[in-house]
C-alpha cells in the first residue's frame, strides 16, 4: 500500500519546519588550476555578490586534489572538500569550456563528492547555480553538462545560468569584473540562487523524501 500523501499531511510537515536564521552557506567550485584563471575570477566575483546579499561563502581551491580513484578518501584535500560540501546549503560551479565541454578539474571535484557520507548526503537537496567562461564566442556546452551532473547529484539546479564570452576582456587588473551585461547576468544568477536557497533549505528532507527508500520492509 502506498503511503498517505494527502495535502493535509504535507501541509502539517511544512508548518512544523523550523526556519533557519543563519546566513545561507554557499560553496563555490571553479574548474582551472591556472594562476590567471578566469573561471576562478568569475567564481570570486560570484562570491562577492553573494556576500553582498548576506550569504556566507567559501571557495574551494582545487590545487593538490588528487585524480579521482575511489581510494584516496583520507587525502587532506578530499577531506576538506567533503567537509565543505556537507557544510553547504548551496553551490556554484564555474568552469571554463575546453574542447566543447567542462574541464577535468571541475569534473574531478564533483567526482570526489559522494552521494552519501555515512548517513549524510552532501549534495541532495542543495541548490546549485552553474556558470562557464569561454575564450571565444559565447557557448553553453559546459553549463549544459554541469546541469546533467547537478541532476545526477540530486541537486535543485536553478533555471538561470551564466556564460561569459571572451572572458579575457571582462576583468580588471585586480580580478574584479568590468560592468557589462555578462556581469549583470552573474548578479541575476546569484540573486536567484540566494532566493531559492532561502526558500528550499529548510524543506530539504521533505522535498527529497523517496517512497522507495522509506517503504516498510514487510
Residue 101 bridge partners (DSSP): 98
Question: What is the pLDDT at residue 12?
Answer: 64
Predicted confidence band at 15 (pLDDT cuts at 50, 70, 90)?
Answer: low
Question: What is the pLDDT at residue 31?
Answer: 97
Q: Which residues of 169-193 are buried (b: 16+ CB within 10 A; e: fewer)?
A: ebbeeeeebeeeebbebbbebbebb
Question: What is the pLDDT at residue 52?
Answer: 98
Question: What is the pLDDT at residue 93?
Answer: 98
Predicted confidence band at 13 (pLDDT cuts at 50, 70, 90)?
Answer: low
Q: What is the DSSP string of 23-72?
A: PPEEEEEE----TT-HHHHHHHHHHHHHHHHT-EEEE---TTPPPP-SS-
% residues pLDDT > 70 (the chain): 91
Q: 8 pLDDT exceeds 90?
A: no
The ranges assigned to domains in the chain are 23-208
Give the CATH H-level superfamily of domain 23-208: Flavodoxin domain (3.40.50.360)
Average pLDDT for the chain: 91
Question: What is the pLDDT at residue 11?
Answer: 57
**Distance from C-alpha of 129 to C-alpha of 124, rounded to nearest angstrom:** 14
Joined grid coordinates for residue 30: 571553479
Among candidate residues 64, 169, 159, 153, the one with its CA nearest the CA of residue 111 = 153
Averaged pLDDT, 60-73: 96
Question: What is the pLDDT at residue 10?
Answer: 58
Averaged pLDDT, 109-129: 88
% residues pLDDT > 90 (the chain): 76
**Distance from C-alpha of 93 to C-alpha of 155, rounded to nearest angstrom:** 12
155 neighbors 127 (Cβ within 8 angstroms): yes
Averaged pLDDT, 102-127: 90
Question: What is the pLDDT at residue 218?
Answer: 59
Predicted confidence band at 6 (pLDDT cuts at 50, 70, 90)?
Answer: low
Averaged pLDDT, 84-99: 96
**pTM of the predicted protein model:** 0.89
Q: 51 pLDDT exceeds 70?
A: yes
Question: What is the pLDDT at residue 127?
Answer: 96
| 63-72, 111-120, 162-171, 189-198: least confidently modelled range | 111-120
Predicted confidence band at 154 (pLDDT cuts at 50, 70, 90)?
Answer: very high
Amino acid at each position: 500500500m502506498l503511503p498517505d500523501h494527502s495535502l493535509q499531511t504535507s501541509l502539517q510537515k511544512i508548518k512544523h519546519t523550523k526556519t533557519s536564521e543563519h546566513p545561507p552557506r554557499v560553496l563555490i567550485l571553479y574548474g582551472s588550476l591556472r594562476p590567471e584563471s578566469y573561471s576562478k575570477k568569475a567564481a570570486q566575483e560570484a562570491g562577492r555578490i553573494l556576500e553582498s546579499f548576506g550569504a556566507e561563502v567559501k571557495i574551494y581551491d582545487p590545487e593538490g586534489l588528487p585524480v579521482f580513484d575511489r581510494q584516496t578518501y583520507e587525502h587532506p584535500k578530499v577531506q576538506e572538500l567533503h567537509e565543505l560540501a556537507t557544510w553547504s546549503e548551496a553551490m556554484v560551479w564555474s568552469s571554463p569550456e575546453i574542447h566543447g565541454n567542462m574541464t577535468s578539474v571541475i569534473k574531478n571535484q564533483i567526482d570526489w563528492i559522494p552521494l552519501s557520507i555515512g548517513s549524510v548526503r552532501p549534495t541532495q537537496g542543495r541548490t546549485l547555480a552553474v556558470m562557464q567562461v569561454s575564450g571565444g564566442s559565447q557557448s553553453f556546452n559546459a553549463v549544459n553538462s554541469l546541469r546533467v551532473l547537478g541532476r545526477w547529484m540530486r541537486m535543485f539546479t536553478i533555471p538561470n545560468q551564466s556564460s561569459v564570452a571572451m572572458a579575457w576582456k571582462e576583468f580588471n587588473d585586480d580580478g574584479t569584473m568590468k560592468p557589462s551585461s555578462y556581469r549583470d547576468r552573474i548578479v541575476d544568477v546569484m540573486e536567484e540562487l540566494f532566493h531559492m536557497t532561502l526558500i528550499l533549505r529548510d524543506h530539504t528532507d521533505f522535498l527529497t523524501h523517496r517512497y522507495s527508500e522509506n517503504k516498510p520492509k514487510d
